[in-house]
Structure 1
Amino acid sequence: MSTFTVKTVPTTPYEGQKPGTSGLRKRVKVFQQENYTANFIQAIFDAMPSPGPKGATLVVGGDGRYYSEDAIKIIIRLAAGNEVAKLIVGQNGILSTPATSNIIRKRQTNGGIILTASHNPGGPNHDFGIKFNSSNGGSAPEAVTNRVYEISRNINQYYEANIPEVSLASLGKQTFGNFTIEIINPVNDYVELVKELFDFDLIKNFFVKNPNYKVLVDSLHGVTGPYAIRIFVNELGLPRSSVQNDVPLPDFGGSHPDPNLVYAKSLVDRIEELDIPFGAAFDGDGDRHMIYGKGAFVVPSDSVAIIAEYASIIPYFQSTGLKGVARSMPTSRALDLVAQDKNVDLFVVPTGWKFFGNLMDAGRLSICGEESFGTGADCIREKDGIWAILAWLNIIAKVNETKPGSGIKDILRMHYEKYGRYFYLRTDYEEVESEKANRVIDHLRDLVGPSKGTFFGKTFGEFTVKDGDDFEYRDPVDGSISSHQGIRIYFTDGSRIVIRLSGTGSQGATIRVYVEKYSKNPSEYDLETLPAVQGLIDASLEISKINEYTGRTKPDVVT
């Protein structure tokens, strides 16, 4: 056991170190500026809730993107300098966001630092991110992130220990004075968790009885590769060929680690070519997912609704019950119909997983989801891509006991026949100049505010405006109010448009436009989404004036 000394390093603040619900995301070159990362880490330590960093145990890991190991070395030196007692670090810096949340909760640590920019591209010319998770396993509350920002604006020093360089590849503990670093296998604790949540024997037996039922999982060279190999191949017995792009790479192989129909197109093409009934893709840090089988794409809004519908067949919910369900405001209202049918509470929250976490901590929420390919449960405090895939496989295996041959398409159809179908589509305009993006939102706020007297009742194509607002949420647990969370416009036929700015990019702004149309007509259930909502898309463009204000002629992503 060696000791170390601590020095106080003078520094100057940087502008713009304001973390959002998903932490601080910037270009790698920004984080590489002198003291930039150290400033932010020190601000996190200074902002930690009582009792603060002294004597704390923290979990550290991430998606393995470019600059991760450099950042972990800085975190180690500053953690020792701030009298943190122990760091639990994923081997080679790898630890998915859901796995990090699980370890924080399982080992009852004081929180964790996650190095990820989620679904954003990685590499020296792309994005990096740092976020702090609290002791409940979820993203730090706004009071903490606001304090981090305020400290970052005035920081003039940080505390750094001369800890020798630590091998992140070597499992086990290394102790330096009163400071310990434990390098752990990033997969083991998570596998223990999911085997308690789902019926692995049922799923495995389904594959044995249906040897031609192929599965293809794509990790997009993100963090989930090792988890996918262990779970789908080693535990469930699927062929090794069932997992692709499973080696985490600093630049994600030059691809965009965002599991949607655009960035996971190679997966979709292979599924169609090989007639694969079940496919899935995950994002960089493992908290998002996409489900796609031959001829069947599962819209995330439908995914969370169907998991809630079948919750009673999943072992975890058999033991805990279904306490309540929740969705983010832009997510389609399919979940609302299930909540009404199951007679459980429904919560509609702003975008941001922390809002679900409050409800979970209060014992009021079991299953929740966002339209942005995030779904999860109260077993942890983050959305979880692999959890969602296992939930679907559990459902498919159980349904096949009474209805052999049922796949994704059949389960979707049964759901629509029971509840009706919400046709739902999202378009993204990425990296729009902030000034132009704000002009769009200001225009919309005026329509549903001061101008509503002339706007409500106005017709756009076949759609007549009935109502609209700028969504505001009052947290039923702590009473906090979140305003200006997105513009909602409702039409007389029950259709809806939502337009909001997203803060997940590293520069500029992303304008997200959501359109939603409900049908209870079985003859329409098999229609393609785009033609079903084209009229709403046209109405949204006319109302928002996106093309006029931004100069864009088409969105960057359609999902």
Structure 2
Amino acid sequence: MIRVVATTPFDGQKPGTSGLRKKVQVFQQPHYVENFVQSLFDSLKEFEGETLVVGGDGRYFNREAIQTVIKIAAAAGFGRVLVGQGGILSTPAASAVIRKHEAFGGIILSASHNPGGEHGDFGIKYNIGNGGPAPEPVTDAIFARSQAITQYRISDAPDVDLDTQGITRVEDMVVDVIDPVEDYAELMGTLFDFDAIRDLFGAGFTMRFDAMSAVTGPYARAILEETLGAAPGTVVHGQPLPDFGGHHPDPNLVHAKDLYDLLMSDHAPDLGAASDGDGDRNMIIGRGRYLTPSDSLAIIAANAHLAPGYAAGIAGIARSMPTSGAADRVAEKLGVTCYETPTGWKFFGNLLDAGLATVCGEESFGTGSNHVREKDGLWAVLMWLNILAVRRQSVAAIVADHWATYGRNYYTRHDYEEVDAAAAEGLVADLRARLDTLPGSVLGGLTVEKADDFAYHDPVDGSVTTKQGLRVFFTDGSRIVYRLSGTGTAGATLRVYIERFEPDAARHDLDTQAALADLIAIARSLPDIEGRTGRSEPSVIT
């Protein structure tokens, strides 16, 4: 039986870069999830009888939210729901399932790399039929509807057994509980040379993959250990837990420090890798060599042809604007275009669908390709394993060779997390107002060449996206970028990106923070970060 429930709008149900993210307690409010999901369905058209994919990263409140989504989908008229067993689907796996089964779209329950648990974060994201995040016209429509909603429709059927694969019904809608790994693993087998990777492990190659007690554990164990022959125990923290085992599931130098320390030690395996809460981010570390996501993207693009799925070469590269220019030099040598987009994977979707780009990446530990329409952490790890299996060199040797060929982009990101939102917005607004006065000025001994507020003109649909980050370029080719992030749930996060190109191979092994020390000082003093935010040091340096 379908019930019609009267409701009133909640403030702030506006999806951000990657959906709606709030604290768990916010989502637990009566009617909160129902309002947002009903607003989502009210904003879509012609989905009656169609298929919807549903799953999440296993964080606290995942199962409860999935039951609500299923019951509202049944009331809305969907014909079929595919839901991952246990409520589990990584974000890239959800994209793969949407695409393989030609679903109308999908709902992913996740706050990605944000902390989980009863007092952590939760999120809901809608992906469209190409498997990618909903574009802004869709998210704008969802928000507008959420501010006017007066009722929602929901089935009062019993909860679905999420732990048993098979088919049940909710009203007239089929609910198919599927193996969350199978479709994704099958896709990976078409892209990479699994035989070569098996041989690599068979020859004694060692690695550690830290799933951070998040969603990629089942995927990594099935593919790395069971299919490719990595030693048992290669995958650590492999069981998805509602609170991620107390981890902050963000694979960077702060939250995956144990992995970094291991790879820098005398007991290091050949490769270290980690993924995040929902499986779309990655960190790659070789024995004695940490690799920035920007460099990883560039090296993957330069070597993608070594994997069977990319043997014909790549059509183009796309990177977010804050990502370093390392990929641009690879694109130039390959004779393809490198597209510079705003941050947010949804901006890559048009390029991928149009066949203009094959490999994409963001400096925020996200890399992927045209196989899905999301960044994909485990895909990046498998690509690196394929490269290592063919080249039979260490990660450090491959990195050194790449820098010798293309030069090195020294690059760092300084995050100031949970800054007072008004202070952060004031800092950005003041600097934006001063951009036109900066060219020609000398800061810390460096001359400003130009400064702007990045705007993106989509080459496919002609849309324009403005105010995507403040950029300051210097005459020596260095740059500083300032941007407010949209992925947090408390206060504001100010991200500062600092970059300098070094063509001289004799200077490729400097400490990154030392190589950028003068730019770091400028980056802090130019907008007076300490004076405006009270922060003398960043929360996280990557």
TM-score under structure 1 length normalisation = 0.96
1:438 is aligned to 2:432: no
**Which residues in structure 2 correspond to 1:356-505 (within 5 Å)?**
356-400=348-392, 406-449=393-436, 452=437, 455-505=438-488
1:304 is aligned to 2:297: yes
Return the alpha-carbon distance in structure 1 between the equivalents of residues 456 and 491 of structure 2: 25
Return the alpha-carbon distance in structure 1 between the equivalents of residues 18 and 412 of structure 2: 24
SS in 2 for 1:310: helix
2:59 aligned residue (46, 54, 65): 65
Return the alpha-carbon distance in structure 2 between the equivalents of residues 293 and 555 of structure 1: 26
1:208 aligned residue (192, 196, 202): 202
Is 1:216–1:271's contact at 8 Å kept on the other side of the alignment? no
4+ residue segments displaced more than 6 Å? none
Corresponding residue number in structure 1 for 2:278: 285
Residue 439 of structure 1 deviates from its aligned partner by 1.1
SS in 1 for 2:496: strand
Residue 266 of structure 1 deviates from its aligned partner by 1.4
Post-superposition Cα deviations, 1:100-125, rounded to whole Å, max 9, x if no partner, equal: 00000000000000000000000111
2:118 aligned residue (106, 117, 124): 124
Is 2:82–2:176's contact at 8 Å kept on the other side of the alignment? yes
1:32 aligned residue (28, 31, 39): 28
Return the alpha-carbon distance in structure 1 between the equivalents of residues 63 and 462 of structure 2: 40
Return the alpha-carbon distance in structure 2 between the equivalents of residues 248 and 176 of structure 1: 27
Return the alpha-carbon distance in structure 2 between the equivalents of residues 499 and 21 of structure 1: 17
Return the alpha-carbon distance in structure 2 between the equivalents of residues 168 and 112 of structure 1: 17
SS in 1 for 2:481: strand
Residue 270 of structure 1 deviates from its aligned partner by 2.7
Corresponding residue number in structure 2 for 1:272: 264
Is 2:415–2:541's contact at 8 Å kept on the other side of the alignment? yes
Residue 293 of structure 1 deviates from its aligned partner by 2.1
SS in 1 for 2:526: helix
Residue 19 of structure 1 deviates from its aligned partner by 0.2
Corresponding residue number in structure 1 for 2:220: 228
Corresponding residue number in structure 1 for 2:16: 20
Q: Which amino acid aligns with 2:172?
A: N
Q: Which deviates the most, 81-90 or 265-274? A: 265-274
**Which residues in structure 2 correspond to 1:159-198 (within 5 Å)?**
159-198=153-192
Identity of aligned residues (%): 50
TM-score under structure 2 length normalisation = 0.99
Aligned residues: 541
Corresponding residue number in structure 2 for 1:403: none
1:47 aligned residue (17, 37, 43): 43
Q: Which amino acid aligns with 2:120?
A: H
1:7 is aligned to 2:14: no
2:335 aligned residue (332, 343, 348): 343
Q: Which deviates the most, 108-117 or 455-464? A: 455-464
SS in 2 for 1:476: coil
Residue 177 of structure 1 deviates from its aligned partner by 4.3
SS in 2 for 1:275: coil
Residue 276 of structure 1 deviates from its aligned partner by 1.5
SS in 1 for 2:516: helix
Corresponding residue number in structure 2 for 1:81: 75
Residue 21 of structure 1 deviates from its aligned partner by 2.6
Q: Which amino acid aligns with 1:293?
A: G
SS in 2 for 1:122: coil
Corresponding residue number in structure 2 for 1:313: 306
1:150 is aligned to 2:141: no
RMSD (Å), alpha carbons: 0.9
Gaps of at least 5 residues in structure 1 are: 401-405
Residue 240 of structure 1 deviates from its aligned partner by 1.2
Return the alpha-carbon distance in structure 1 between the equivalents of residues 527 and 359 of structure 2: 33
Return the alpha-carbon distance in structure 1 between the equivalents of residues 193 and 2 of structure 2: 50
Corresponding residue number in structure 1 for 2:493: 510
Is 1:91–1:184's contact at 8 Å kept on the other side of the alignment? yes
Gaps of at least 5 residues in structure 2 are: none
SS in 2 for 1:465: strand
